[in-house]
């Protein structure tokens, strides 16, 4: 019996397109490809770039700020570092403007804004050009007359003034490689703080896209426009283009901070950040941090942008651009490999380190082939030189595991599996030497409060290798250890995974949870720890 072929469902974009820690997306289309850059804060290398031919299938190409000449993060505070990079294309070059934030506590930010350029998104990139230090979120606007302009948020430290003091505009001279003329504050918003400016030219209008209301639960995106580059700019009278501030039931929260892109067929899309909270008795908490999503955009007859589906809340699925089919050859969905056997010459781009690059003085994949060797350095509280490699969580239902060969001779030598938010808040399943011999146990930091759960430590003196595992089950984290990778024994109590969220505690938090491997030698001897593999499996 002949049957008619089943029609394939229309292709869709499924959000988040980049799950886990991928905030502040900047999206540009160049020669058949969409390129998307995101913030990295204190993580190194800086500014990952993903590529897609269709906005549906994404692959991680690498990082832009990938050597010390482009980025020095030693000593930056937790959730400081690289904020809100903005990627653009002009005159045959990629342009990247980005902030390095070196102070986050108190009234000051101590911000440096830089610009680099390259003919290819993977470089080589030019040496950084210093722009200014007046505020965060720099972006470039390349006008139709060939002139280039810098926009950034004006920061005001004075206690009797709003900290977010509008949007500055100043011309950038490409020949002199410096800002020229005086900056102009083109828009202040008396009701909400505004940041993340991006400027577009459309049908005789200068359209200014803004992040509004701060990057928390009140976050949103709103448009403003003017017939003149320097203003005055009028805010969209309809209010936010995108927000969930009045819709706590929506699965995507904190939606905001985005950029527009136009496809070759004339369709418009918006890349933006959003978070998927776990709902706990203490309130919603976003363990995965801020993720990248994409929405369709249309324009009203009056010239204002609107989400194509008719509301201001983001959707989990939207129709893909016209003409989307199978992914282009060589492009695979942007999912972190489940397992790394450490048999490559270098760490893959899915790995990050804290504040400093992965140098041979502390990390090696060749000294013991097939193993990752970490030489212990400073403590988990250090803002300078940690021996730690990690990946962001992509799901709150997942399992991370590794096998460790480590025979420390003293208590000041430690290594193991770490579930990380920042230096002040993390859970660490570590192997060390105690008075009774080699042990595996849990240590933790909670907003700077350090504890060792010694009552639950296991003796591993007679284990040739130590297998370590962390299982995330929503709001619950459970560590376990094994001598053979089969028979697992729980180590420590069930832990609250939501402390590893953007919403826990009193400090600035922007980075989401990570899981990874680390080693410490607090005596300065750089004692080695060898890891045979690492597995991160989403359920």
- Rounded CA gap, 209 and 53, in Å? 24
- Rounded CA gap, 162 and 157, in Å? 8
- Rounded CA gap, 33 and 52, in Å? 6
Q: Which residues contact 497 (CB under 8 A, 6 or more apart)?
A: 287, 396, 419, 472, 474, 475, 476, 477, 513
Catalytic residue among 171, 250, 350, 385: 385
41: DSSP letter: B
Q: Which residues contact 369 (CB under 8 A, 6 or more apart)?
A: 343
- Rounded CA gap, 380 and 374, in Å? 14
Q: Which residues contact 310 (CB under 8 A, 6 or more apart)?
A: none
Pairing of strands 220-226, 234-235: antiparallel
Of the candidates 286, 21, 23, 288, the one whose C-alpha atom is nearest the C-alpha of residue 136 is: 23
Residue 502 sits at φ, ψ, to 5 deg, of -65, -15
The secondary structure of the chain in percent helix, strand, coil, rounded to multiples of 5, reads 0, 50, 50
Q: Are residues 141 and 172 in contact, defined by beta-carbon separation less than 8 angstroms?
A: no
18: DSSP letter: B
- Helix (H) / strand (E) element for 167: namely strand 164-173
Of the candidates 32, 37, 93, the one whose C-alpha atom is nearest the C-alpha of residue 257 is: 37
Peptide bond into 278 cis (omega under 30): no
Q: Which residues contact 281 (CB under 8 A, 6 or more apart)?
A: none
Q: Rg of the Cα trace of the chain? A: 24
What count of other Cβ atoms lies within 10 Å of the Cβ of residue 356? 19
Instruction: Decide if 171 is catalytic.
Output: no
What count of other Cβ atoms lies within 10 Å of the Cβ of residue 449? 9
- Rounded CA gap, 151 and 200, in Å? 12
The residues that are catalytic are 385
């Amino acid at each position: 019996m002949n049957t008619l072929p089943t029609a394939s469902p229309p292709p869709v974009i499924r959000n988040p397109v980049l799950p886990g820690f991928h905030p502040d997306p900047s999206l540009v289309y160049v020669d058949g490809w969409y390129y998307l850059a995101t913030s990295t804060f204190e993580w190194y290398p800086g500014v990952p770039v993903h590529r897609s031919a269709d906005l549906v299938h994404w692959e991680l190409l690498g990082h832009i700020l990938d050597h010390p000449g482009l980025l020095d993060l030693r000593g930056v505070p937790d959730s400081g570092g690289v904020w809100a990079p903005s990627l653009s294309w002009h005159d045959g070059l990629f342009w990247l403007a980005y902030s390095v934030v070196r102070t986050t506590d108190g009234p000051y930010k101590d911000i440096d804004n830089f610009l680099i350029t390259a003919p290819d998104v993977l470089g080589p990139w030019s040496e950084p050009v210093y722009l200014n230090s007046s505020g965060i979120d720099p972006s470039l606007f390349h006008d139709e007359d060939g002139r280039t302009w810098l926009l950034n948020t004006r920061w005001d430290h004075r206690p009797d003034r709003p900290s977010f003091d509008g949007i500055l505009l100043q011309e950038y001279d490409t020949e002199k490689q410096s800002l020229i003329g005086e900056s102009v504050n083109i828009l202040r918003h008396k009701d909400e703080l505004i940041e993340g400016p991006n400027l577009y030219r459309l049908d005789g209008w200068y359209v200014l896209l803004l992040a509004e209301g701060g990057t928390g639960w009140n976050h949103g995106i709103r448009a403003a426009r003017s017939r003149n580059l320097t203003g005055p700019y009028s805010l969209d009278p309809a209010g936010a283009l995108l927000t969930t501030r009045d819709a706590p039931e929506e699965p995507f929260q904190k939606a905001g901070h985005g950029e527009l892109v136009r496809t070759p067929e004339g369709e418009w899309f918006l890349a933006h950040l959003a978070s998927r909270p776990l709902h706990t008795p203490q309130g919603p908490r976003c363990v995965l941090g801020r993720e990248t999503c994409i929405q369709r955009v249309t324009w009203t007859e009056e010239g204002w942008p609107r989400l194509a589906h008719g509301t201001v809340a983001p959707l989990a699925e939207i129709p893909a651009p016209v003409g989307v089919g199978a992914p282009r050859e060589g492009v695979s969905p942007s999912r972190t490999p489940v397992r790394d056997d450490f048999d490559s010459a270098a760490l893959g781009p899915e790995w990050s380190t804290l504040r400093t690059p992965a140098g041979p003085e502390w990390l090696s994949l060749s000294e013991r082939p097939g193993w990752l060797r970490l030489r212990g350095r400073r403590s988990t509280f250090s803002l300078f030189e940690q021996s730690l490699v990690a990946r962001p969580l992509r799901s709150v239902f997942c399992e991370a595991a590794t096998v460790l060969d480590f025979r420390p001779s003293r208590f000041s030598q430690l290594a193991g599996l770490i579930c990380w938010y920042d230096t002040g808040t993390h859970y660490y399943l570590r192997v060390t030497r105690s008075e009774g011999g080699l042990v595996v146990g849990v240590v933790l930091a909670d907003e700077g409060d350090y504890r060792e759960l010694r009552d639950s430590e296991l003796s591993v003196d007679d284990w040739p290798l130590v297998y370590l595992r962390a299982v995330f089950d929503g709001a619950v984290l459970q560590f376990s250890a094994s001598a053979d990778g089969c028979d697992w024994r729980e180590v420590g109590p069930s832990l609250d995974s939501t402390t590893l969220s953007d919403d826990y505690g009193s400090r600035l938090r922007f980075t989401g949870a990570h899981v990874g491997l680390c080693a410490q030698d607090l005596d300065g001897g750089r004692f080695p720890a060898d890891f045979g593999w690492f597995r991160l499996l989403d359920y």
